[in-house]
C-alpha cells in the first residue's frame, strides 16, 4: 500500500540553493509526510476520496465562469385544489326538523338526548322543544313449558321508549352536517327517524288569478237606483220630537 502511494504521489525535488528555498522545501516535505501518514491511517477509502476530490477540482477549473445575473430565479406557487364547492342553486330552507329516537333502555336515551342538544347549542341551532312521547308496551304470554303444564305460563314484556327533539329554522346544508354528525354517534340499540318540513316557493301558476278582472264599464248597472230603496224610514223620539234615522 505504501509503495503504491509512493508511486502515485512521487514528486521530483531539487536541492535548495539558499536558506529560503530550504525552509520552503522543509515545509513541503512535512506536509507530504502528514498526508502520507493520514492515508496510512484512513485506508484505501481516503485515497479514492482524495482522487475524486482532485478530479472535481480539475473539472471546476475547466468550466466557464458565468455571472449570477444570467440565471433566472423565480418563485413557484403550488395551487392546492379547493375543498369548497360553490353552486348557484339556492339552499333549501327547512322550517322544522324532527328527530324521533327510540330504544329499549331509557338511560341510553337520556344520555343521547344530552349529547344531541349540546351539539345543537354549540352549532347555534334553534331547539324548538324536547319531549318524551308515551312508551309502547307489548306483552307476549307463552307456556312455561313447551309440552306440559298448560296452567303454568310466563309473560314477556317489551317496552319501547321514545324521545323527540324538534329543531326549527335550518338550512339544508346545516341540517345535513348536523344529522351526519349525530347519526354517526348513534349508540347501539337505538333507532332514529327524521322528519323534515321544507319551505317551498309558491309556483307562478298559483300566484296568477284564475280569471282576469275586466275594466269597469259605464252603464246602468253602475247607477244607484232610488226605486229600490225603502220608502218608509224608521224613526225614533228624541226630546219629544220625531227624527228620522
- Domain ranges in the chain are 2-9+16-60, 93-199
Query: What is the chain's mean pLDDT, rounded?
Result: 73
Mean pLDDT of 82-109: 86
What's the chain's Rg over C-alpha atoms? 52
> Grid coordinates standing for 193?
327517524
Mean pLDDT of 211-232: 52
CA distance 192 to 162: 10
* pLDDT value at residue 148: 80
Per-residue confidence band for 20, with pLDDT thresholds at 50, 70 and 90: low
CA distance 56 to 68: 21
| Residue 149 or 235, more confident | 149
Mean pLDDT of 5-22: 49
> Grid coordinates standing for 26?
522543509
pLDDT at 27 over 70: yes
- Could you tell me the fold of the domain covering 93-199? Alpha-Beta Plaits (3.30.70)
> Grid coordinates standing for 215?
275594466
Q: What percent of the chain has pLDDT over 70?
A: 55
* pLDDT value at residue 233: 45
Quick count: other Cβ atoms within 10 Å of Cβ 21? 12
Mean pLDDT of 203-213: 74
Mean pLDDT of 35-49: 55
Quick count: other Cβ atoms within 10 Å of Cβ 165? 21
* pLDDT value at residue 91: 83
pTM as predicted: 0.49
Contact between 165 and 178 (Cβ < 8 Å):
no
Quick count: other Cβ atoms within 10 Å of Cβ 4? 10
pLDDT at 229 over 70: no
CA distance 94 to 98: 11
Per-residue confidence band for 29, with pLDDT thresholds at 50, 70 and 90: confident
> Grid coordinates standing for 77?
406557487
Mean pLDDT of 69-97: 68
Contact between 199 and 95 (Cβ < 8 Å):
yes
97-139 pLDDT, tens digit each: 999 999 999 999 999 999 999 999 999 999 999 999 999 999 9
pLDDT at 7 over 50: no
144-192 pLDDT, tens digit each: 888 888 888 899 999 999 999 999 999 999 999 999 999 999 999 999 9
Amino acid at each position: 500500500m505504501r509503495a503504491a502511494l509512493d508511486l502515485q504521489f512521487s514528486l521530483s525535488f531539487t536541492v535548495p540553493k539558499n536558506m529560503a528555498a530550504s525552509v520552503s522545501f522543509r515545509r513541503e516535505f512535512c506536509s507530504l509526510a502528514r498526508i502520507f501518514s493520514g492515508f496510512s491511517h484512513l485506508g484505501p477509502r481516503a485515497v479514492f476520496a482524495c482522487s475524486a476530490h482532485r478530479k472535481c477540482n480539475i473539472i471546476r477549473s475547466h468550466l466557464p465562469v458565468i455571472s449570477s445575473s444570467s440565471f433566472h430565479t423565480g418563485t413557484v406557487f403550488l395551487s392546492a385544489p379547493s375543498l369548497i364547492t360553490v353552486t348557484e342553486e339556492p339552499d333549501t330552507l327547512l322550517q322544522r326538523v324532527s328527530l324521533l329516537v327510540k330504544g329499549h333502555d331509557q338511560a341510553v336515551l337520556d344520555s343521547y338526548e344530552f349529547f344531541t342538544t349540546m351539539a345543537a347549542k354549540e352549532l347555534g341551532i334553534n331547539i324548538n322543544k324536547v319531549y318524551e312521547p308515551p312508551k309502547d308496551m307489548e306483552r307476549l304470554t307463552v307456556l312455561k313449558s313447551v309440552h306440559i303444564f298448560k296452567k303454568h305460563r310466563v309473560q314477556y314484556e317489551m317496552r319501547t321508549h321514545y324521545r323527540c327533539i324538534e329543531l326549527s329554522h335550518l338550512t339544508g346544508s346545516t341540517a345535513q352536517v348536523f344529522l351526519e354528525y349525530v347519526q354517526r354517534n348513534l349508540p347501539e340499540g337505538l333507532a332514529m327517524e327524521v322528519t323534515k318540513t321544507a319551505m317551498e316557493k309558491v309556483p307562478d301558476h298559483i300566484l296568477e288569478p284564475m280569471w282576469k278582472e275586466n275594466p269597469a264599464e259605464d252603464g246602468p248597472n253602475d247607477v244607484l237606483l232610488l226605486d229600490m230603496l225603502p220608502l218608509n224610514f224608521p224613526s225614533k223620539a228624541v226630546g219629544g220630537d220625531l227624527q228620522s234615522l
